[in-house]
Amino acid sequence: MRISIIGTGYVGLVTGVCLAKLGNEVTLVDVDKKKIEAINQKRPSIYEEGLVELLNVTDIETSLDFKKSFGSELIFICIGTPSGDDGSLLLDQLETAVKQISQVVRRKEEYCVVCVKSTVPPGTTRELVIPLLEKSGKEAGKHFGVCMSPEFLREGKAIYDLMNPARIIIGEYDKRSGDTLANLYKDFSAPIMRTNLGTAEMIKLASNTFLATKISFINEIGNICKQLNIDVYEVAKGMGFDDRIGSKFLNAGVGFGGSCLPKDLRGLIARSKQIGYEPKLLQEVLNRNDEQALKSVELLKKHFNLKNATVGILGLAFKPETDDIRESRAIIIVEALLHEGAKVKAYDPLAAENFRSLFPQIEYVTKEEVLNSDAVLILTEWEEFNRLDYSGKIVIDGRRVPKAKGARIYEGVCW
């Protein structure tokens, strides 16, 4: 199939290389010249396991010009939808891209399907995308098709997740649009669910907010367990045998970060408020997450006065195996430590440079040097942290690194 991908962030780039690997003719379009040049040089600006290897073995066309999508049977929209000040998902970049696609649709003789992959508030494809595309003078469902098919890619494992999806969700405006997309995925063994546009949009947000809820839930249980001298990890293990609950996403700690869970949670909260519904449970999931991160600072204060103390931080990325620091818990924790007057030295195997752009005032050192602080705070569970010698140290562990238990004083954030 001839496919264009508009937007070459994590989702667009990974989708593009994987679909090319599966034998499709793929064109990647982005207005960011630097991103396109980096892709052409097979040195993408994002780190993703297996991505460079795939870029080297696939034949992908790239362009800065939307008109390049003219020959495509399928156009995927993979434009970012960042959080606005009120938490709502901002749609202006998406809107600009759809207007450009509308120009392409206007000139196209043959039928093509435009598929939204960006995470958008329910109603966006029907109320914003379709009217903009119809400004071309063409009619949705007749001259062109429209789908909304969300992605569920974990950063770091995005290629694996795309090639081995748990499910494929196809929100379709009409049957022909959905058939085109279903045909693209016909060789995948995952269940394919076909539904309407708004439901597909909601499935994405509900999935991510559910994962976030699971984490805040186990963190809440952890906080109670800590006071009662019960190990929340043992509790989670016992709960997980029940397959209605499941054992995944029950790792208690300093909370969730990343480019999706916090943003999607805020996005759904904002959308609910717009329609006059107060989503109290979702709001508490978010509140617990912020308070959970700051609990690590409270625990440090229990052991000594933070003013002028040196706190060593192990892990800055929002999770292991990535250099991504978006919404990393380390950000609000370092802010709080600096506010208390502490000195901070930090180590992360991949994310230190990204963190330096936000916090140039802290020291970036080796992991061994981090251990040489008044106390150590573990914020990302990198495998290598489980090989350090913590003896004689004070450690506050936000991610349950087993080896850290050997510290002179060891305390888990909620265990």
Which residues here bind ligand UDX, judged by CB under 6 A? 152-155, 208, 211, 215, 249-251, 253, 255-261, 318-319
| Contacting residues for 17 by C-beta, under 8 A, at least 6 apart | 26, 51, 54, 55, 58, 60, 159
Instruction: Point out the residues that are catalytic.
Output: 260
Query: Toward ligand UDX, which CB reaches closer, 210 or 277?
Result: 210
Residue 287 near residue 255, CB atoms below 8 Å: no
β-strand partners of 5: 28, 76
Question: If residue 215 lies in a helix (H) or strand (E), which one and from where to where?
Answer: helix 197-228
Min CB(179)–ligand UDX separation in Å: 25
What one-character DSSP code corresponds to residue 78? -
Min CB(118)–ligand UDX separation in Å: 12
Query: Toward ligand UDX, which CB reaches closer, 12 or 257?
Result: 257
First to last CA, the chain: 52
CA distance 47 to 155: 9
CA distance 325 to 240: 29
Min CB(160)–ligand UDX separation in Å: 12
Min CB(315)–ligand UDX separation in Å: 10
Query: Toward ligand UDX, which CB reaches closer, 261 or 351?
Result: 261
Min CB(265)–ligand UDX separation in Å: 11
Query: Toward ligand UDX, which CB reaches closer, 250 or 306?
Result: 250
Question: If residue 26 lies in a helix (H) or strand (E), which one and from where to where?
Answer: strand 25-29
Query: Toward ligand UDX, which CB reaches closer, 90 or 211?
Result: 211
| Contacting residues for 268 by C-beta, under 8 A, at least 6 apart | 121, 205, 206, 209, 279, 282
